[in-house]
Amino acid sequence: MVAIWNSVAMNSANSNSDIDLFIVTSPNRLWTVRIFITLIFQILWVRKTKNKHAERFCLSFFASTNVLNFENIAIENDIYLYFWILYLRPILNYNNTYEKFLKENEKWCDFSSYDEILKTSSSLIYFEEKRKNNNNIFLDFLEKILKSIFYPKTKKSQEKNWMLFWEIINNDMLKFHKEDKRKEIRDKIYKN
């Protein structure tokens, strides 16, 4: 799945906003997808850079289908993550991944009051896989190579910038963000 999230999806973007993408991969394809998507967006000059944000794509959140339930990354009373999931706008939906994502998160989020919002989130591109065999020796090998190269570099960057970034780096999720404002937002909402 490829989906738009954050300010653009929540209809709160301004002229300086970037376009955040959330990308869901098959298991054991996280690093391959991340590297190729980043390379393509870089070649097309549409990837967000340090100095150019507006109307460029931010590739800051990748997850595999192994971790569609976000309850374990939620903070207590995580109102931001709740609305983040609710307003997610799928662009490409492969094998009902968006519907599976919602179903997994309905285990801890009650979206029943927001049926109208969810109805507007229909995918622009939808397709289903015809074959069931996802085994590909070449892609498995490529994933191992790319992970062995980029995982240590990514972890080193995380350790170097640990005070500046809220990051998740593991076999099933890559989330990079400058700061985590969820606690601040939650506290402002529940204080009033």
Give the residue extent of every domain in the chain.
2-191
**Following DSSP, what letter does each residue of 87-126 receive, concatenated?**
T-EEEEEETTHHHHHHHHHTTT---GGGHHHHHTT--SEE
- Mean pLDDT on 95-106: 94
- Mean pLDDT on 29-41: 96
pLDDT, one tens digit per residue, over 172-188 is 999 987 677 888 888 88
Residue 134 has pLDDT above 70, yes or no: no
- Mean pLDDT on 112-140: 76
Residue 123 has pLDDT above 70, yes or no: no
Could you tell me which residue, 125 or 43, shows the higher pLDDT?
A: 43
This prediction's pTM: 0.87
